[in-house]
Amino acid sequence: MQEPDNRLHVFIAVVLLALAFLHGVFSSGFVSILNLALGPQAPLAFSLYFVGLLLGQLGIYLFASLNARHWNYPLYEIGFGASLVFMALMNNTEGFILGRLLEGIMGGLATPPLFNYLVTLKAFGHVGKRIALFNSIFVLGYVLGPVIMDGLRLLMPYPRVLLLSGIVFGVVSLFLMLMPVPDPPPPDVDISLKKLLRSYDWFEKFSTLVLAKGLYGYLISFTAGYITQFLPGFPLAQVMLGFSVIFVCGQILTERVLRRFPKSHLEVYLPLLLCVLLGAFVGTHWAGFIFILALFHSSLVFIGTLNFGLKATSAREYALFSCLSDPAMILGAGLASFGLNGVWGIVLLLSVPAVRALFLAPQRTRAEAFIPWIGPLTLVNIFRKQKSPLLEPANDAVPFSALQLNYCAPKPDNQPHSEPETEPLTLKLLLSGDLCPPPHSAQTPLFGWHPDLRRLIESHDLAALNLESPLELDPKAKASEHLHALSLQQFEALAGSDQALFGLINLANNHSLDQGLRGFEQTRQYLQAKPGFYPLDSRLQIVERAGLRLGFFALSFGSNCFWRKHPDLSLLKPEELLHSPSLQKRWLEQIQAYRQEVDLLVLSWHWGYESELYPSQALQAAFHWLAEAGVDLLWGHHSHLVQPFEIYQQPKGVSQNALCLYSCGNLLSNLEGDGYHQGVLWSVTLQSSPDGLRMQTVKPHFFRADQNHLLSPLEQGQSLLERSCREHLNAPTR
């Protein structure tokens, strides 16, 4: 049973969806009325409607007071109904032209708060379902508009249709005004075009919506004008109804697919797939391709709306994005006037992600498991910017029962043991995650360590971090969204300056060559010149602590700048290692050679999927292979979220365990989302034994970046990983 407030929200949401349907009806259904009433002057009235829409949405964006109270929205709907009554009473050319402009302004004022209410009301589950409903209901009205209007015109003259419709809008809106609807959320006064363009994720947010609206305008106009040529014998009303059903199904399907498949991947592949379908339709003239295209296009519309709908704290953001993206819909409709020749303009628009891909970073995607050659197509910006972490394990994730958060060595048995001749040596390692440049690093205050965490770090024999960027040592180096550099001041504030707080600095990751070979060399030379720092690349780095020789080497799954190569940076993906006997032979020989020189061998591997709380089975299999080859500890990073660890008991009676820290999260990050600003310090205690170093304890110390620019401890149960683990432990068995 829902709570009373929730039932009220559901009822209000149903009323709002009904109004969204009517807006869709009048957006398209007016075409036949205008043609009947105005003849050659109908395009002018329709154009003024689009102008009015832009003006209304621009007003919502510019003036926050226009959406400050719950009764603002019903007033706009009453105004929309009044514009219909005005046209019905005037019933002349001037009245229709002026009334259509007024209708557009009122519609532009009403749509942003309508969308905002639907995504913030407690109705129909999570926000994705509400966005799917909004899109589907509006488009259903848009597609059925001509059919409904033509049917009403058979029953009564069109002025009466307009008069009755205006009265319906007025009555429903007055009823809505009397309902106990809460005031909308406080408007975000900081929203601005300047701020939007400065934000690191503006392209991801905006591009998908522009592509969706451009194709939307083309499909609607092309279908209305040309589709009957390819489907002889089918009335236009039936075709449009078929499109509406496909669109609604596509919305529902996409909402469900996003539970298992990252939307950032769909944002890349859908435009490329739509290009192929458009080309197939042009080549074959088979109308089935248009219907398949409509299905996938509905997914693009859903994702484009979801990108900013997830953060719709006010109607201003919706209004801003509508003002900026609606011209793409007008452009698509204009291209449709060229018939099939106009499709190449849409193909060009849709191919923007593919062109942009040439300049951006290759990222590991699940598709590579099925299509090995798809790597060059995964160079797209959006792959590394998944705003919603995958809180549930993916289909190929390691079972939760195989992973751990805390580990203590078993108590010794009661069997007598001979006393050791010397006291066993104990060694304490501390391993942490990714140190990324924070947003606007030049202006951001320096971050530092909470005193408790600083004492914890200093209590260990050696601490390590992954430097997810070259250092900003060259004044000529230009930092950008992906090719960036961390300021020297920020690095020294966290890793130490005169005295190394973190001695081992991993340099092997996908950002290593962002500033070219020179940037990498300068960073490595700077660290080598500083006492206590050990820069880590793919060569064996030996560090002596407590009379023991510790060996470290590093790998990365790939590089942002794939055209740059460095002999000291080795690239390897876990899947490649698992499926290539030649690679296995090469690395087995290399690891065994390293193992002969050290007491403990540690591999630092930048690997796996971004934005996942649990490692994949491929990562686990790669770790097991490396453990049997001779790696004692695998230190993983790249997911930007903290993941559990695993202790692996080696076969063949070998008592020594191997440890895998799949991911340590972030030290600092420029990503959005609470989980991205959490990290962990893994404290690993090792003790010498006759057959080598043995694992004694593994303990996580969770922390986050607070508002005082300190990396401060998190209380027990506050980390995203701990909450997720608790949910799995308490989940009912199936």
pLDDT band at 121 (very low <50, low <70, confident <90, very high): confident
pLDDT, tens digit (0-9, with 9 covering 90-100), for 551-565: 999 999 888 766 678
Instruction: Evaluate whether 147 touches 237 at the Cβ level (below 8 Å).
Output: yes
Q: Is the model's pLDDT at 4 over the cut of 60?
A: no
Structure tokens at 6: 């929730």
Which of 164-178, 299-313, 393-407, 636-650 has the least mean pLDDT? Answer: 299-313
* Domain 400-408+425-575+601-730 in the same topology as domain 1-187: no
- Cα distance between the two ends of the chain: 24
Rounded CA-CA distance 648/660 in Å is 8
pLDDT at 593 over 90: yes
Specify the DSSP element, H or E, that contains 719.
Answer: none
Which residues make beta-bridge pairs with 571? 556
The amino acid present at 212, given as its one-letter code, is A
* Cβ neighbours of 563 (radius 10 Å): 6
E-assigned strand segments in 151-208: none
Give the fold, CATH level 3, of 1-187. Growth Hormone; Chain: A; (1.20.1250)
More confident: 259 or 429? 429
Q: Which CATH class is domain 188-388?
A: mainly alpha
Winning range, highest mean pLDDT, from 351-355, 520-524, 559-563: 520-524
CA distance 220 to 246: 14
More confident residue, 381 or 421: 421
Asked if 543 and 462 count as a contact pair (C-beta separation under 8 A), the reply is yes
Whether the per-residue pLDDT at 262 is higher than 60: the answer is no
Q: Which CATH architecture group holds 400-408+425-575+601-730? A: 4-Layer Sandwich (3.60)
Say whether 404 sits in a helix, a strand or coil. strand
What average pLDDT score do residues 214-224 get? 75
pLDDT of residue 263: 65
Predicted local distance difference test score (pLDDT) of residue 534: 94
Q: Contact at 8 Å (CB) between 24 and 139?
A: yes
Span 272-290, pLDDT tens digits: 788 888 888 888 888 888 8
Question: What is the percent of the chain with per-residue pLDDT over 70, rounded to a whole number?
Answer: 75
Is residue 3 over pLDDT 90?
no
Higher pLDDT, 294 or 481: 294
Can you give the pTM of this predicted structure? 0.55
Q: For residues 366 and 396, what is the distance between their CA atoms, to the nearest angstrom?
A: 10
pLDDT of 361 reads 35
Backbone phi, psi, residue 697, to 5° = -140, 150
Average pLDDT over the chain, rounded to whole? 78
State which amino acid sits at residue 601. Answer: L
Give strand pairing partners of 628.
none
Confidence at residue 634, expressed as pLDDT on a 0 to 100 scale? 97
Asked if pLDDT for residue 385 goes beyond 80, the answer is no
Question: Residue range 420-432: average pLDDT?
Answer: 82
> Domains of the chain: which residue ranges?
1-187, 188-388, 400-408+425-575+601-730
Question: Which pLDDT belongs to residue 288?
Answer: 86
- As a whole-number percent, the residues of the chain with pLDDT over 90 amount to 22
Express each pLDDT in 356-384 by its tens digit. 444 433 333 444 444 444 444 443 333 33
Q: What is the per-residue pLDDT for 482?
A: 45
- Give residue for tokens 């029953």: 155
- In which band, very low, low, confident or very high, does the pLDDT at 664 lie, cut at 50, 70 and 90? very high
Quick one: tokens of 20? 């969204």
